[in-house]
């Protein structure tokens, strides 16, 4: 019997091995997406159901607790990122990529239309899994060991608080990034190119679309929801007995955290591209512009 198994093992061509890798990867991704969808439904049910135990904190209190650390960690990180973004965009006029009077539009509209929301989303995609995944892994292990008494783990409620907090935090941090980047760009253009405050903000307002402002909020909600949902799904997933035994080892947590961050970033890029295609690309190309549109 052992000889037959050995012959079958050695008889498999080596060039077929990648097919097995692809199959395992595809089935793993589909299983992960299915578990994520189920968790989202559980979180929605938890919003309707309310508390199962009067000793539990309310969903509002749990969400506020999560929101406080997201904003506390996100404000300095997003602010620093947008200091770089604001100064970089303002320097485009300095290097001749646009004319000086259009600097306000390049900085402010560029941040509102695309950069602020996507840079904030990518920042939180790295930040949230680093806390949510270990936190939920510990909660799951305590519940399995009976440390929480006879009451089981309410995965939907745990996920709902974190998802609601991320949905609120991401648009707020995106707006914060817009403000920081716009102010930094204003002072940079004033100091380096002598651009007046009136011209800077006049061009910003003139080139702004209403959908740019709406987009910051809509994309912020979508990016925050996707990131928190993926992080909660990874944290509440059964990692297997070996990973469960190594749950307190930081090295063992590195792989799920990095995997979640990469999936969240990919989801953010996909959502951002979808928004651009349906909201900007599907309408007349030339809205407010610094340049005249080409004529036939």
Q: Could you tell me the residue ranges of all domains in the chain? A: 56-280
User: Please, are residues 206 and 106 in contact by the beta-carbon 8 Å criterion?
Assistant: no
Residue 123 has what pLDDT?
Answer: 96
Phi and psi angles of residue 271, each rounded to the nearest 5 degrees, phi first: -65, -40
User: Please, are residues 192 and 78 in contact by the beta-carbon 8 Å criterion?
Assistant: no
CB atoms within 10 A of CB 39: 23
Is the pLDDT confidence value at 294 over 60? no
Distance CA 226, CA 266 (A): 10
What pTM, to 2 d.p., does this model score?
A: 0.82
Average pLDDT in the 262-276 region?
93
Q: What percent of the chain has pLDDT above 90?
A: 39
Is the pLDDT confidence value at 119 over 70? yes
Long-range contacts of 41-48 (CB under 8 A, 24+ apart): 41/156, 42/155, 42/156, 42/159, 43/156, 43/157, 43/159, 43/160, 43/163, 43/229, 43/232, 44/156, 44/160, 45/156, 46/154, 46/156, 46/157, 46/159, 46/160, 47/160
Is the pLDDT confidence value at 285 over 70? no
More confident residue, 237 or 288: 237
Residue 282 has what pLDDT?
Answer: 61
pLDDT band at 116 (very low <50, low <70, confident <90, very high): very high
How confident is the model over 120-176, as pLDDT tens digits? 999 999 999 999 999 998 888 877 766 554 456 788 889 999 999 999 999 999 999
């Amino acid at each position: 019997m052992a000889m037959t198994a050995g012959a079958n093992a050695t008889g498999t061509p080596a060039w077929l091995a990648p097919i097995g890798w692809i199959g395992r990867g595809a089935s793993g991704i589909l299983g992960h997406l299915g578990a994520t969808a189920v968790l989202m439904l559980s979180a929605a049910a938890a919003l309707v159901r309310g508390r199962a135990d009067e000793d539990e904190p309310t969903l509002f209190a749990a969400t506020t607790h999560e929101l406080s650390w997201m904003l506390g960690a996100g404000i300095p990180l997003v602010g620093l990122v947008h200091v770089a973004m604001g100064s970089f965009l303002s320097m485009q006029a300095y290097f001749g990529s646009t004319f000086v009077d259009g600097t306000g539009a390049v900085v402010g509209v560029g941040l509102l239309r695309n950069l602020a929301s996507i840079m904030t989303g990518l920042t939180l995609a790295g930040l949230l899994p680093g806390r949510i995944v270990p936190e939920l892994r510990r909660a799951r292990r305590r519940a399995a060991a009976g440390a929480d008494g006879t009451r089981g783990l309410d995965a939907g409620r745990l996920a709902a608080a974190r998802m609601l907090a991320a949905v609120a935090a991401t648009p707020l941090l995106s707006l914060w990034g817009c403000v920081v980047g716009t102010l930094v760009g204003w002072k940079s253009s004033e100091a380096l190119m002598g651009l007046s405050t009136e011209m800077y903000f006049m061009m910003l307002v003139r080139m702004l679309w209403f959908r740019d402002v709406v987009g910051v909020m809509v994309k912020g909600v979508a990016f925050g929801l996707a990131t928190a949902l993926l992080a909660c799904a990874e944290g509440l997933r059964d990692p297997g007995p070996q990973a469960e035994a190594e749950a307190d080892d930081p090295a063992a947590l590195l792989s799920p955290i990095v995997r979640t961050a990469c999936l969240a970033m990919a989801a953010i890029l996909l959502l951002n591209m979808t928004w651009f295609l349906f909201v900007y690309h599907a309408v007349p190309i030339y809205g407010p512009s610094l340049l005249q549109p080409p004529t036939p």
